[in-house]
Amino acid sequence: MLHKAFLIIIINKERLPERQKGKKIMVIGVIVVIVAILLVSNIKIVPQARSMVIERLGQYSSTWEAGIHIKIPFIDRIVKKVSLKEQVYDFPPQKVITKDNVSMGVDSVVYAKIFDVKKYTYGVEDPMLGLQNLTATTLRSVIGNMELDTTLSSREEINAKMQETLDKATDEWGLKVTRVELKNITPPKEIEEAMTKQMKAERERREAVLQAQAHKESVVTEAEGDKAAKIMAAEAERDAAIALAEGKAKSIELVYDAEAEGLKKIANAGVNDAVLRLKSIEAMKDVSDGRATKIFIPNDLGKSLSSFGVMGEMLGTAPEVKDEVDREDYRKSLVETDTKQQLEKDACFSNPSSNATTLKSVETNARNSSEMRQETER
């Protein structure tokens, strides 16, 4: 038994260096694994639009921007992770008093972003709480210098003033206030009722003005339409009158052209004085057709009438006379007969006194024409 134990001890002694070597390898492997884990765990990737504040041994070391970074284990510490995007802060309504002592509630919205991560981390303990309180005090200060009507109608002015004031005040906090908006202004109920009545009265006034303007435009349009219609009617009447006058002028021109052409033809035909006198007697006949109340007898009527006897002798239609006395008596009787026939057809013989005077004048003209004829023959 002792022999066997002695052999076992000898064998274990021979294997001891191999065991120690395996333990060393194991320890080294563990150490490598631990180092790898530490390295991997301290490799940090910062996303876009974000930053990290790093402290080394309790002091500010650096600000990591977007990208890959390695943190020294047990020495470096990530203090704060912040977003560089623009943030929207909707604060609860604040009670404010206007210059004319009207109390109302105003709630605002502030748009801001971080431009300096170090100041944002170390400048104030709670930047959002500080921004909220600063917004409330600035809002009371700005609206306290305005009356109610100005406050309700000057939102843009209030927003600009608040944005300028908050931006200057938050520079030390690493914040940039980009915009401020008044979301709602709530006046007291009595003010709201008065404003409602005022708006209603204003709407009624505008409605009355619009109706009056519409009526005015309607009347003006109707008057302009009547004016245009009258102008068009007058122009149409004028055009018709011009056309009628042009037609009459053309008609008269054609008549005169025809008469001139007839006179040319008569002149070319060699018509003598006897024919012309016959035409004048026919014209006298047309004049005395019974519609005229007065007749103007030409001075040479006797010559015209006396020429009928001569024409009768020329044409051979007069009765044969033997001597000069009978010839003269025949001419007188012929003139008197023709004259009476012509005068009986005239409407002017309705008056006996004028008929007698006219007949006596015609007989005188006939005798004068006969005497002139005798003188010519002698």
Cα dihedral sign for 341, 346, 351, 355?
A: negative
Q: Provide φ and ψ at 108, rounded to 5°.
A: -130, 160
Using CA atoms, how far apart are residues 127 and 376, in angstroms rounded to an integer? Answer: 150
Cβ-contact 162, 135 below 8 angstroms: yes
CATH of 87-187, one of 3.30.479.30, 3.30.420.40, 3.10.20.740, 3.20.20.70: 3.30.479.30
- Residue 362: is its pLDDT beyond 70? no
Q: What is the mean pLDDT of residues 173-193?
A: 87
The answer to whether 302 and 365 have CB atoms below 8 angstroms apart is yes
| Range in 158-162, 188-192, 194-198, 357-361 with the lowest mean pLDDT | 357-361
133 pLDDT tier (thresholds 50, 70, 90): very high
Question: pLDDT tens-digit profile of 248-284?
Answer: 888 888 877 787 777 677 667 665 555 556 666 665 5
Q: Is 196 helix (H, G, I), strand (E, B) or coil?
A: helix
Q: Where are the beta strands (DSSP E) in the chain?
A: 43-46, 50-56, 59-64, 67-70, 76-83, 87-90, 94-97, 103-114, 175-186
Phi, psi of 107 (to 5 degrees): -115, 140
Q: Is the pLDDT of residue 113 over 90?
A: yes
Percent of the chain whose predicted confidence (pLDDT) is above 90: 19
Query: Whole-angstrom Cα distance, residue 341 to residue 343?
Result: 6
Q: Does residue 188 have a pLDDT over 90?
A: no
pTM over 0.85: no
87 in helix, strand or coil? Answer: strand
Domain spans, the chain: 42-83, 87-187, 189-270, 273-377
Smallest Cα–Cα separation from 311: which of 249, 373, 229, 371?
Answer: 373
The 3-state DSSP class for residue 324 equals helix
Q: Is the pLDDT of residue 126 over 50?
A: yes
Residue 262 tokens, joined: 């007839």
Q: What is the pLDDT of residue 359?
A: 47
Render pLDDT for 70-102 as a digit per residue (tens, 0 to 9): 888 888 899 999 999 999 999 888 889 888 888
Q: What is the pLDDT of residue 321?
A: 43
> Model confidence over 191-215: pLDDT tens digits?
778 778 888 888 888 888 888 888 8
Q: What per-residue confidence (pLDDT) applies to 267? A: 65
Phi and psi, residue 318, nearest 5°: -80, 150
The CA distances from residue 143 to 95, 109, 202, in Å, are 11, 16, 26
Q: Buried (b) or exposed (e) across 224-262, using 16+ Cβ within 10 A?
A: eeeeeeeeeeeeeeeeeeeeeeeeeeeeeeeeeeeeeee
Position 165 scores a pLDDT of 92
Nearest-angstrom CA–CA distance, 275 and 14? 187
- The DSSP letter of residue 361 is H
Rounded-to-integer distance, Cα 231 and Cα 223, Å: 12
114-139 mean pLDDT: 90
Q: Which residues pair with 81 in a beta bridge?
A: 52
Predicted local confidence at residue 137, as pLDDT: 92
**The predicted structure's pLDDT at residue 152:** 84
Calculate mean pLDDT across residues 148-161. 88
- How far from 49 is each of 61, 172, 176, CA to CA, in Å? 20, 21, 15
